[in-house]
């Protein structure tokens, strides 16, 4: 499930919860791509992700690449242990900007 928590101007926080899987990834993909198309800084909160599969990881990768193409930033925030395990398996933990929390993510942008 994806909730877009509109933040300050040019900044969005998208909170993903539960299973980020094949069933839900089409909606999540749309939410993430909309966010990176409209904002300069997008943070994806993964604190409450209990399961993520390759389709969910693909959504994050596509959003990251779209953000970069637009000159925007996409960072991951408060990544759950389950999500981090899969990012590490995919060797993508070094590709994304990963922050402990939103405050440190915002600080890194300044």
Q: Contact residues for other proteins (CB under 8 A)? A: 19, 21-23, 51, 53-55, 57-59, 61-62, 65, 82, 85-86, 89-92, 95
Q: Which is nearer to other proteins, 6 or 26 (CB)?
A: 26
Q: Which is nearer to other proteins, 13 or 83 (CB)?
A: 83
Cα-based angle 37, 51, 107 (whole degrees, multiple of 5): 50
Strand partners, 11: 41
Q: Which residues contact 90 (CB under 8 A, 6 or more apart)?
A: 54, 57
CA 57: distance to chain centroid? 9
**CB of 103: closest distance to other proteins in angstroms?**
27
**CB of 55: closest distance to other proteins in angstroms?**
7
Q: Which is nearer to other proteins, 83 or 106 (CB)?
A: 83
Q: What Å distances lie between residue 30 and 56, 66, 109, CA to CA?
A: 12, 12, 24
Q: Which is nearer to other proteins, 7 or 82 (CB)?
A: 82
Strand partners, 15: 3, 45
**CB of 9: closest distance to other proteins in angstroms?**
29
């Amino acid at each position: 499930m994806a909730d877009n928590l509109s933040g300050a101007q040019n900044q969005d926080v998208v909170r993903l919860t539960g299973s980020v899987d094949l069933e839900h990834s089409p909606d999540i993909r749309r939410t993430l791509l909309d966010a990176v198309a409209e904002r300069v800084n997008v943070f994806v909160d993964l604190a409450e992700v209990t399961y993520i599969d390759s389709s969910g990881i693909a959504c994050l990768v596509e959003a990251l690449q779209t953000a970069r193409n637009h000159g925007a930033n996409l960072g991951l925030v408060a990544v759950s242990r389950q999500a981090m395990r899969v990012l590490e398996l995919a060797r993508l933990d070094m590709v994304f900007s990963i922050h402990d929390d939103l405050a440190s993510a915002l600080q890194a942008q300044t």
